[in-house]
Amino acid sequence: MTETEFIDELIDILELEEKNVMLKTPILLDSLSTLSIIAFLDQNFSKKATANELREVSTINDILLLAGEENIR
């Protein structure tokens, strides 16, 4: 997955309305979006994110790190 595709997926999942979403764009996960991110990471990267890791997420880049930088082109 490219970085642009990754960001586009997260715009869709998190229903972000801001323009020019970037890796450093701040995000806030509620309970449903937390489940969506768990499913996204499992489905696309076979990665598991713990509740504690997800609680620390504050930007798009934090999710990219959970997906694994090696998995993003």
Partner 1 sequence: MQERLKLRNDIGAFDYNLGCSGYVYGLAIAKGLLSSKIASNVLLIVSETYSKHIYKKDIANRAIFGDGAAATIISENTSEEGIGEFVLGTDGTGKNNLIVSHGAFRACFDSEAEEIEYGTESIYTKNHLYMNGPEIFNFTIEKIPPLVSEVLEKNGLTIEDVDYFIFHQANKYMLNYLRRKVRIPKEKFYINMSDSGNTVSVSIPIALNNCIKEKTVTKGSKIMLVGFGVGYSWGATIITL
Q: In the 8-state DSSP scheme, what is residue 71? A: G
SS3 assignment, position 26? strand
- For residues 17 and 30, which CB has a smaller minimum distance to partner 1 in the complex? 30
In angstroms, rounded to a whole number, what is the distance separating the alpha carbons of residues 17 and 73?
25
For residue 66, the minimal CB distance to partner 1 (Å) is 12
* Contact characters 31-50, partner 1, x per CB under 8 A: xx-xxx-xx--xx----xxx
Options 5-13, 15-23, 25-33, 63-71: segment touching partner 1 (CB under 8 A): 25-33
